[in-house]
Amino acid sequence: MLINFRADRAGGDCNTGRRHAWLLLGLLLSACASYSAAFHPIEKSLAAREPATALKLLEDQNHSDADLFLYFSNKAMILRMMGEYEQSNEQIEKAKSLIEKFTATSVTEEASSLVINDTTRTYIGTPVEQVMLHTYAALNYLEMGRVDAARVEALQVDLRLKMLMQDDPDSALSHDPFGRYLSGLIYEDLGEWSDAMIAYRKAFKDYQAHSGLYSITVPEQLKNVLILMADKVGLTDERREYEKSFGLSLESLKKERKGTGELIFLFHSGLAPIKIERSVQVLDPASRQLIRISLPYYERHENPIRRARITLAGVKSYTGSTELVEDIGTLEIKTLEANMPVIAARAIARAVAKYNMAKEAGKQNELAGLLVNIADFVTERADTRSWLSLPAEIQSARLNTASGEYAVTVELLDYNNNIVFRQELNNISIKGGRKQFLSFYWTSASANTEH
């Protein structure tokens, strides 16, 4: 927002008014803090492996009605880290209800966002965050052993993605490869082979589409299961195409999968990037004036961990390494970039309107014009809200094992394949014919407790 100072014509009173105005500006600017800044103490507690402390800090903060989605979502994720899956899903349902209630933006909120800033609108999550609500609800159910309930979330993922495709059908960002892949895992665990094949097939296409936007590849575990599932449902020609394309053979995969049960290990690595405000000056073509606008951009957390290695020790020993299945951080960044033209256009329109208001006020009274200018300057804020307790990445490993009890060890490796962290987890039981899901969290400085 342009702060436009006119020549002094009002004498001492105006000078006094200007001093008061600048004092007001200083106070208002010092009071302005981004949403990400308020989350920093919670982030520190998560990095210190103290999710209970993080939860208390979150609950003790003031949360406006416009930010309740983030309160529910962050609380859900922290409860999940604590192994409180049922309570986590209760919070997820509250966040979902806000999406349904505020998807059609009210006229009042739309008007205030055009006059003040976008933070006045009720936040209901980015497309990525909305899909991740269903994803984590499904994972909560899976880790409680409630596969049928997880199936309902898989169907909701499909509905959410269809809504995104209606908004922008040609964008790869309207598709979520991991959401499809997780749906396939759920259908496969339920013995719904045809639905699993459809979901895996969609996941394969989505990974291919996303690989054109950023550095993600089709996971090897998905390639394997496409061949095995195509064989199971009798799609011989399609199975042979996959074998040729992937350089794999059905027989070798069958030999490797002699176990009767399977562990799905999910490594939730790092924390999602934070939104930061950046102010720039642009030229308004109509008035030929430079105007100041504030825009959001993402800043990544540093994360020294490249992958995780999991070892099961029992009657037999099994070892597997994780591979990337969802790059949440990059998805958020790419989605913001895709929406930036709309965000910038709104900011410019708002800045021009504010400039004209200040100009008209200044014609009537110079001090009034100055105060309006200052108010406009302070209220021109970028919307830096985001679901900050989401991981930056989700990685996965699938281990076929014999039924039985296993001791579990997780090792975290850096980009030079050095082990930088090792933890013994609780023993797990693998049952024949079923999948066992296990999650492990790591934030930027240390690992959170397994569950």
pLDDT of amino acid 436:
94
Contact partners, residue 127, CB within 8 Å, separation at least 6 = 164, 173, 174, 335
pLDDT of residue 287: 67
pLDDT of 191? 94
Q: Is the pLDDT of residue 52 over 60?
A: yes
Q: At what angle do helices 220-232 and 177-189 cross, to 10 degrees?
A: 40
Please answer whether residues 220 and 323 qualify as being in contact, where contact means their C-beta atoms are separated by less than 8 angstroms. yes
pLDDT at residue 445 tops 70: no
- Report pLDDT for 352: 75
Half-sphere exposure (CA, 13 Å, Cβ side) for 379? 19
Is residue 96 within 8 Å of residue 152, measured between CB atoms? no
pLDDT of residue 264: 97
Give the per-residue pLDDT at 379.
Answer: 59
User: Which residue reads 């000056």 in tokens?
Assistant: 281
313: number of Cβ within 10 Å: 15
- Read off the pLDDT of residues 80-110 as tens digits, 9 standing for 90 and up: 999 999 999 999 999 999 999 988 665 454 5
Backbone phi and psi for residue 126, each to the nearest 5 degrees, phi listed first: -75, 165
| Residue 69 reports pLDDT greater than 60 | yes
Q: Minimum mean pLDDT among 111-120, 226-235, 303-312, 339-348: which range?
A: 111-120
Q: What share of the chain is helix, strand, coil (3-state, %, to 5)?
A: 55, 20, 25
**Average of per-residue pLDDT across 55-65:** 93
What pLDDT was estimated at residue 362?
A: 57
Average pLDDT over residues 417-444: 92
Report, as an integer, the average pLDDT of 220-229.
Answer: 97
pLDDT > 50? residue 447: no
Task: Give the pLDDT confidence score for residue 377 in this predicted structure.
Answer: 53
Per-residue pLDDT for 20 more than 80?
no
C-alpha dist (Å) from residue 420 to 151, 270, 439, 447: 36, 14, 19, 11
What is the DSSP annotation of 77-109? HHHHHTT-HHHHHHHHHHHHHHHHHHSS--HHH
pLDDT tens, residue by residue, 358-386: 555 556 665 544 444 545 555 567 889 99
Percent of the chain with pLDDT over 70: 80
Measured between alpha carbons, how far is 50 from 156 in angstroms, rounded to an integer?
Answer: 32
pLDDT digits (tens, 9 = 90+) for 132-148: 999 999 999 999 999 99
Place of tokens 């859900």: 76
Q: What is the DSSP letter of 264?
A: E
Per-residue pLDDT, 277: 87
DSSP assigned state of 273: P
Across the range 296-317, mean pLDDT stands at: 93
Residue of 118, 104, 29 lying closest to 66 (CA atoms): 118
Confidence (pTM): 0.85
